Each structure stands twice: as structure tokens, then as C-alpha cells.
Structure 1
Amino acid sequence: MTTAESGSFSSAALEEYLSLIDELLAQPFPEANFHDDTECGGPEHRVRILRASQEFWDDDDGQAAREADADLRPYLDALIAALTARWGEPLVVDLLPYLRAGLEGEAVSEPINCLSQLTGSMQAWPHPDTGRWLGLAIGQEDKELPLELLAAVGQTLALEPTASGRS
């Protein structure tokens, strides 16, 4: 995980993130759920923090969080551009229906469940030949905690809606 540096976009970091994304897509999914400082995962999914801002415990007016978001956006945009050049236009996945479903007690597959609690949407690229998809988003667990640039990999079927419109 890399901590965001205010106002500095690094092409070396972009290459590092693309390499991490390639690794995420190639790695087998873990047999059991795990969580550490930079990654979490389990059967059929992985989520990796590519870059994180500072925490916002003293950010009463939200200005520091807005600045941190502005610092992370160029990385997200550059990754989206690079991956679009590789794989075509991403799907824009609205995660709010999944959050609502989870709050109503419905089962929501991972990593969609996790991501829906961190952000409202993600950009995703299905990889039908591997049975996986890759998603990118900026998310935040709580308003005092860091903003995080996230890469997620899951089973392709997890993105296909069921009759109720959810995974």
C-alpha cells in the first residue's frame, strides 16, 4: 500500500499498480477469508488497497477529505485509461442496490458486499476467459478513516444479476 502524496502523480506508481492488478488477476483465490493491512480476500475474491490517504480525525469541515479525493482521482483515472486501452470500456457498476440488499439481510457475494460498504460505484472489466472480473474504485470505510484506491477481483458470475437484479 502506498500513502498518497499531495499533488504528486507518479508514473512509476501507475506501473506498480498495473503490475499489482496483473498479479491479482493471476493469483488463485485463497481457500479461507483473510484480512491484513493491504489486502483482504477469500474464496472467489480479493481486494487490494493500491493507495491510501491520511486519516481524517480532525477534518471537521471535510476539506482534507476533498483534497485527498482530488489527489487519488488522477491515479484512478490513469488506471481506468490504461485498462480501457487493454480491455475496452469498463462497466459502471452501481453498488447501492447491493448495499441495500445486504442491509435487508439478503446474501451479497464478495467482494461486491465489501465494496458496496465503501463506495457507491466502481468501474469493472469482465474477463470471461478466466471467469473473473476486475473492479476499481475509491472507497472509505468511515469518514475519519483514509480514502483508498481499491482494486478488486471476483468471479465473473458475481457481477451477473439474478432475477432480483442482484448477485
Structure 2
Amino acid sequence: MAMRDLDAVVDELLVLPFPRQETRDGERSSGPGYHVQALKASRDFWDGRDEETFQAAEDEIDTALQEVRAALTERWDAPEAVDLEPYLRPDGPVPEPINQLCMLTTKTLLWRGRP
């Protein structure tokens, strides 16, 4: 994703109102107090996982992640690493958007913005 496109997506999310109920609109899901936007996704590899194809997809996603990280760090300073592993074995329901993030990864980055 180009920096210009990322800036447009971020700017749109910053002014987008939060719905009262959870909603899904294409690659974005929203709910009270959150928006989750997929910026890039690879295809699923459940069947016939060819190692070369898988590695190429993983490299492409990693490159995109580094670009997003650099752009958001320039905009809001360094991120904070967040470990989602404690949410993988909850005693009760996991709130959104943490539940969605746990389905994708065990670690994420959090930008709080400049004061």
C-alpha cells in the first residue's frame, strides 16, 4: 500500500463515527469504540501449502508491514508492542477488537499518537 493510500485510510478511520453495534463493511469491521481495517492480506494456505508460494506471500506481507510501521511511526512516534497471548486462554468472553486480533496474531503494535 502506498503511503498516500495509507494516509487516506488512516484519515478516514480517524473521523469515522463508531457504530453502536458491531458492523462489517468489506475489509473493515467496527463497533463501539473501535475500527479494524485490513490493509493487506494474503490468500489462505489451508490446503496444498507449497513452501515457495507460502514464503513469497509471507515476504510480501512482511514488506507491507514494515512500510505501514514506518509510516505510522513517522506520523505518531514509536509504537508499543502488545502481547495478545494472555487473551488466547480467557476466563470469559474476549472483547472486540482484541478477539479479532487474536485470530490473526499473538503480538501487535499500538500507536498512541503524539500529545
Place the TM-score, normalised by the shorter chain, in its bin: 0.7 to 0.9
2:77–2:113 CA contact under 8 A, matched in 1: no
Matched, 1:48 2:70: no
The one of 78, 92, 102 equivalent to 2:67 is 78
Between the two structures, name the one with larger relative contact order (CA 8 Å, sep ≥ 6).
Answer: 1
Identify, as 1 or 2, the structure richer in strand.
1
Identify, as 1 or 2, the structure richer in helix.
2
Runs of 4+ in 1 over 6 A off after TM superposition: none
TM-score for both structures, normalised by structure 2: 0.83
SS in 1 for 2:112: strand
Count of matched residue pairs: 115
State the percentage of identical aligned residues. Answer: 38
Matched, 1:112 2:98: yes
In the TM superposition, what is the alpha-carbon distance from 1:62 to its structure 2 partner?
A: 4.5
Q: Tell me what 1:20 maps to.
A: 9
Change over 3 Å in CA distance of 1:32–1:57 after alignment to 2: same
Matched, 1:123 2:112: no
Deviations 1:101-124 (A, max 9, x none): 2xx3x2332111210121111111
1:44–1:110 CA contact under 8 A, matched in 2: no
Flag structure 1 segments of 5+ consecutive residues without an equivalent.
Answer: 1-9, 130-167
TM-score for both structures, normalised by structure 1: 0.60
The one of 92, 95, 119 equivalent to 2:81 is 92
Flag structure 2 segments of 5+ consecutive residues without an equivalent.
Answer: none
Distance 2:64 2:75 in 1: 17
Distance 2:103 2:45 in 1: 18
Please, which moves more after superposition, 31-40 or 89-98?
A: 31-40
